Structure 1
Amino acid sequence: MSDIIRRDPRAEWIARNRLHPLHAAMQPVQHSWMGPNGIIRKNVHGVGFIGPNGIKRIDRSGAQQGGAAKRTAAAEVQLPLHQVPAPAFYINVVPDMVGGRLSSHDRDLLGLARQLAGSDGAVLAVVFGEHKETGFSTAGVDRLLVLEGHEFDGYSPEQRVQGLRAVDNQFNPRHWLLPDSRSGGGELGRRFAASLKERPATRVWQIKDQTCIGRAGAGQEDLARPLPRLILAAAECADPVSDTRHEVLPVELSTSLARSLPRIEDLGAVAVDPAVIPMAEAEFIFSGGNGVKDWALFHQTAAALGATEGASRVAVDDGFMARDRQVGASGTWVTARVYVAVGISGAIQHLQGIGACDKVVAINLDPTCDMIKRADLSVIGESAAILQALIDAVEAYRNGAKRDAA
């Protein structure tokens, strides 16, 4: 065998790319090294596994050193509980809660609030109406205030501003944080600021030393200003909370909300053709790739689900979809709440383009492809059979709903 040292350019590229699914596996783990005096040093923390109680165990037989056993044991470790019995101050957060759940933007916002709260303050999340979220404790919420009532249903910015004014009078928070998004947080934050007669900081992406930096000049410049009380933060403004649990103690308003006659009448949602929704703004994307063999069935499934169609670069290059439907770093970066990838193996450019999607569903024949590793839910099988079963399930659900309504 030759003594020439061979390099693996692909492995080196993956090790440099933080967004690649195999990035963590490509990082070298140094168990021993030579010290300055020529003595070999060993890292005793580099071996072993995490036990069910969070204690590192070392199995000399090597039976427990497998990756599966290590991941299973680590998953059972309970995160430390962060408690604030008597908060010195509050950092109030108003998440968008699109669909009744925290979005990735909301979790980034809570991570920023956690930084501002420190060890003495408490993060108070203000939620309007019913919600389906069960992960407030791991998102960094110390106190939870739910403002219930039919007046908060639908598009009701005036009533919500009144609710936030009542919360502001009772808790007097040090800072208010809202997402500067199109899902309602941007408009609500500006209306709330006008009601308080305060000037908010908008499109904030970094806070440091009582100074906030926000995007300006159509996103081409950064504007620094002293940290105000009302902050409208952009996506990826901070890392989401991942290493602690929080109490999520419920709190209530001490006074009843004053209800006034709204000047805005909500007529409900208007049906829109999913095909005319821009890819960057679509909330539900049904994307096809090289594994799709029946494109007529693919289009039928997308129509049945009411989803916006997308495609991989291979499908676009082959002429099955238009160029403006291409998803990925070389196409359109998407932020959908649900992204369904049918027959897409998961090239790095495609995975970069869907990095901000909340939930990813993968339908593929190859259980080892990168898209399966990225997905929150995977379905292994032939795409045609799965799509037909999906259409049948949607039609059965809708027919059942019609019968119940009748």
Structure 2
Amino acid sequence: MSDIIRRDPRAEWIARNRLHPLHAAMQPLQNSWMGPQGIVRKNPHAVGFIGPNGVKRIDRSGAQQGGAVKRGAAAEVQLPLHVVAQPAFIIAVVPDMVGGRLSSHDRDLLGLAHRLAGGDGAVLAVVFGEHKENAFDTAGVDRLLVLQGSEFDGYSPEQRIQSLRAVDNQFTPRHWLLPDSRTGGGELGRRFAAASGERPATRVWQVKDGQCVSRAGAGQQDISQALPRLVLAAAECAEPVDETRHEVLPVELSTAAARSLPRTEDLGAVAVDPSVIPMAEAEFILSGGNGVKDWALFHEAAQALGATEGGSRVAVDDGFMSRDRQVGASGTWVTARVYVAVGISGAIQHLQGIGACDKVVAINLDPTCDMIKRADLSVIGESAEILSALIAAIAAYRNQAQRDAA
């Protein structure tokens, strides 16, 4: 595994984007060098520094050189801080927090809330139970309310609605934003609308000038209306926040929410065979393409990971995967949280089919293929060696966990 080359596509994008606040930190240390003719050459892009407002300034005197920062010093450069000391109003957001972290849908929702808040309002994020997220500041959260308690464990919509009503009474948000998703936000938003007696706007994908546009008719029709107080937004409703930091000041409820007697009993998660999960509903997909030479090893890796198997058109045409497992525009459009592409070069139809995936991991021998460019994490190497090492690492982790539990 030590010989495998790993790339950071986001760092490469920042290094190419001169307007990004972290661009200077991604530049190499050397800003001048001796050319082959004995003439000293200078890098004009290395001249300048990032000002306090995140704008790049050029200093010809050489007193401040942002290009002199090492490439690995990105953590030392901080984004400009957005502070709202006395907010005129509140925009409340209830993210799904699947797995205890913000999803891409949640970040789009926070980006929409930041737009609605402008410079006078503050974005309040309401989170239920324990979480693992440590990047609320760069996601656009000005105020954070964490509602902890055993009553929020598992499926507890009645108690969550009671808590949201308590938040509504205390903070009186100008708008409530929830993700219109299948992972809880869609149901919670509709329940909250019924409890508060308000009519929400659902499947909203665009907000502009006090108007919102919603999808209807199986996605074939758009409905424009005045922006209501309660909004259930679709994915990609706005650009996520990426160039400012926010305070994330913790707040608390002044009065505890009333206890609600649950009408349903949560029996916990049910173990499901990943092979029977429909591709469109799978959260974790291991997909193989023409670069997979050992399909038995591929199936073993999918079983070890607990992932749903998928394949490219080439793999399906060659008979290695069934037709219902084909991923792409000519197969199934998937929305997995993690999509691992093994030996897939990345045809345009396949890239269209995985466009809604949250995180994409590519394993390929060709560092220039389109799938490597699309991936959030790229591993360059032979697929059989990487899958074998991955299976061994999973087995070692599980054995260690069993020993610790014994």
The TM-score with structure 2 as length reference comes to: 0.82
In structure 2, what is the equivalent of residue 255 of structure 1? 255
Q: Secondary structure at the match of 1:132?
A: coil
| Farther-moved stretch of structure 1 (219-228 vs 188-197) | 219-228
Structure 1 stretches lacking a partner, 5+ long:
1-20, 26-45
Distance 1:243 1:299 in 2: 42
Q: Is the 8 A contact 2:311 2:327 kept in 1?
A: yes
Distance 1:249 1:57 in 2: 34
In structure 2, what is the equivalent of residue 388 of structure 1? 388
Q: How does 1:141-290 map to 2 (within 5 A)?
A: 141-290=141-290
Q: Secondary structure at the match of 1:181?
A: coil
Q: Relative contact order: is structure 1 or structure 2 higher (C-alpha 8 Å, sep ≥ 6)?
A: 2
**C-alpha distance after superposition, 1:183-232 (max 9, x if no partner):** 00000001111110111111111112222221112222112222111110
Question: Alpha-carbon deviation of 1:337?
Answer: 0.9
Q: Secondary structure at the match of 1:48?
A: helix
In structure 2, what is the equivalent of residue 306 of structure 1? 306
Question: Alpha-carbon deviation of 1:245?
Answer: 1.4
Structure 2 stretches lacking a partner, 5+ long:
1-11, 17-42
Q: Is the 8 A contact 2:48 2:66 kept in 1?
A: no
Question: Alpha-carbon deviation of 1:75?
Answer: 8.3
**2:46 partner letter:** F
Question: Alpha-carbon deviation of 1:339?
Answer: 1.0
Q: Is the 8 A contact 2:89 2:173 kept in 1?
A: yes
In structure 1, what is the equivalent of residue 96 of structure 2? 96
Q: Does 1:315 align with 2:315?
A: yes
**C-alpha distance after superposition, 1:261-309 (max 9, x if no partner):** 3111100011112122222221101011111100011011101111111
Compared with structure 1, are the counterparts of its residues 76 and 317 closer, same or farther at alpha carbon in structure 2 (3 Å cutoff)? Answer: farther
In structure 1, what is the equivalent of residue 328 of structure 2? 328
Question: Alpha-carbon deviation of 1:49?
Answer: 3.2
Q: Is the 8 A contact 1:177 1:232 kept in 2?
A: yes
Distance 1:87 1:360 in 2: 38
Q: Does 1:350 align with 2:350?
A: yes
Q: Is the 8 A contact 1:284 1:336 kept in 2?
A: yes
Q: Is the 8 A contact 1:50 1:70 kept in 2?
A: no
Distance 2:103 2:66 in 1: 36
Q: Is the 8 A contact 2:49 2:66 kept in 1?
A: no
Compared with structure 1, are the counterparts of its residues 312 and 59 closer, same or farther at alpha carbon in structure 2 (3 Å cutoff)? Answer: farther
Q: Is the 8 A contact 1:144 1:251 kept in 2?
A: yes
| Farther-moved stretch of structure 1 (291-300 vs 241-250) | 241-250
In structure 1, what is the equivalent of residue 39 of structure 2? none
Q: Is the 8 A contact 2:47 2:60 kept in 1?
A: no
Question: Alpha-carbon deviation of 1:404?
Answer: 3.5
Distance 2:159 2:75 in 1: 42
Q: Is the 8 A contact 2:309 2:325 kept in 1?
A: yes
Distance 1:326 1:69 in 2: 46
Question: Alpha-carbon deviation of 1:76?
Answer: 6.2
| Farther-moved stretch of structure 1 (138-147 vs 388-397) | 388-397
Distance 2:241 2:47 in 1: 21
Q: Is the 8 A contact 1:104 1:356 kept in 2?
A: no
Q: How does 1:8-87 map to 2 (within 5 A)?
A: 48-49=45-46, 51=48, 53-54=50-51, 55-57=56-58, 77-87=77-87
Q: Secondary structure at the match of 1:215?
A: strand
The TM-score with structure 1 as length reference comes to: 0.82
Q: Secondary structure at the match of 2:333?
A: coil
